Chain A
Amino acid sequence: MSAGLLYALAGVLLFVLGAAGAMLLAHLLRKVLAFNVMGSGAFLVLVGLAQREGLADPVPQAMVLTGIVVAVAATALALGLMRALHARTGRTHLTEEVRHD
């Protein structure tokens, strides 16, 4: 097993962890963070899988670079929307979610 494949497998675990977090966590800030973990996992899969034969591939690297910048912008936008929701309603959860704990 090459190091690249190992990175890709770690990326899969991060992606699944983030996906489960995005579904299970009610607080919006945690959801945003979970989405970021998911995104990092996807980036790791892209970069790791492309260099599993040992040679770095510049095409996925450039795409992941693009993806990281877009993820930063999306995170900032999500946080801004979250703050706007909090300022208007005082809530940090989505409407349909009922808190049990």
Chain B
Amino acid sequence: MKRLIRAGVVLAGLALAAALILALVQLPAAVVHLPALVATNLAQSGVEHPVTAVLLNFRGYDTLLEVAVLLLALLTLLALSGGEAPAPVGAADPLLQGLARKALPLIVLSAGYLLWAGAHRPGGAFQAGAVLAAGAVLLQLAGLLPAWAAPRLLLRLGLTLGFFVFLAVAAALLVGGALLRYPPASAGGLIFLIEAGLTLSLGLILAGLFLFVTGRRA
């Protein structure tokens, strides 16, 4: 019986793949030409890189909710862990500790560069946050990160800072009539403010996602 179900799933999968491939090959060209629309409005977006413009200006609402989803996932993990800290690593390796101490300033510098570069070339808050998170994980593995042993007020504030900055900017812009419709003159500054907050919070959230999953009792 199990063998029969297995064969059925494989056959259904092959049929699905064939149908999807057929659909993709026959797909007509898009009616709306999005790259041209983005290029036309790029000058008013406050940034020069189209992906950053889409992420934080044209579709800023998506990004706001995405950060909320991240925060929600982390809060759920914190609740699951019952307030228990990530497992302390065993005897710390002095070589790893030395390397982590040397690498950390470079990691922070890279994150800062990525954040700044996002305005006009590939980069931005998410990439910078991921680099910061890698730094935090490195510190934890080297046994140099005691703050995670007890997530207190400061860490919790850091986790939520990016979301609240984003939300505050979005709410403040409601005065102008629409959520996240930046006035073109100050768009660049507002986007950088949001991205700076997001970088810090995303770094902490992504590191937290890793550190609390690998916690003692989960």
Contacts and interface: CB of A to CB of B under 8 A. Distances in A.
Contact of A20 (B13, B35, B66, B213): B13
Contacts of B10: 20
Given A5-B25, A59-B34, A66 B66 contact: yes
Contact of A81 (B35, B38, B55, B80): B80
Interface in A41-78: 45, 49-50, 53, 55-63, 65-66, 69-70, 72-74, 76-77
Given A23-B9, A80-B218, A58 B213 contact: no
Please report whether the interface of chain B is mostly helix, strand, loop or mixed according to DSSP: helix
Contacts of B206: 72
Nearest to A19: B13
A59 B17 contact: no
B50 interface: yes
Contacts of A16: 13-14, 16-17, 20
Please report whether the interface of chain A is mostly helix, strand, loop or mixed according to DSSP: helix
Contacts of A62: 51, 54-55, 59, 62
A58 B80 contact: no
Contacts of B55: 62, 65-66
A70 B213 contact: no
Interface in B37-70: 38, 50-51, 53-55, 58-59, 62-63, 66, 69-70
B25 A87 contact: no
B53 A58 contact: yes
Contacts, number: 109
B2 interface: yes
B186 interface: no
Given A55-B35, A62-B59, A19 B16 contact: yes
B140 to A, nearest CB: 15
Nearest to B218: A83
B141 to A, nearest CB: 17
B150 interface: no
B90 to A, nearest CB: 20
User: Which of A45, A69, A86 gathers most chain B CB within 10 Å?
Assistant: A69
A8 interface: yes
Give the 10 A-B CB pairs with smallest separation, nearest first: A83-B218, A58-B50, A76-B209, A62-B54, A73-B73, A20-B13, A16-B17, A77-B73, A12-B20, A80-B77
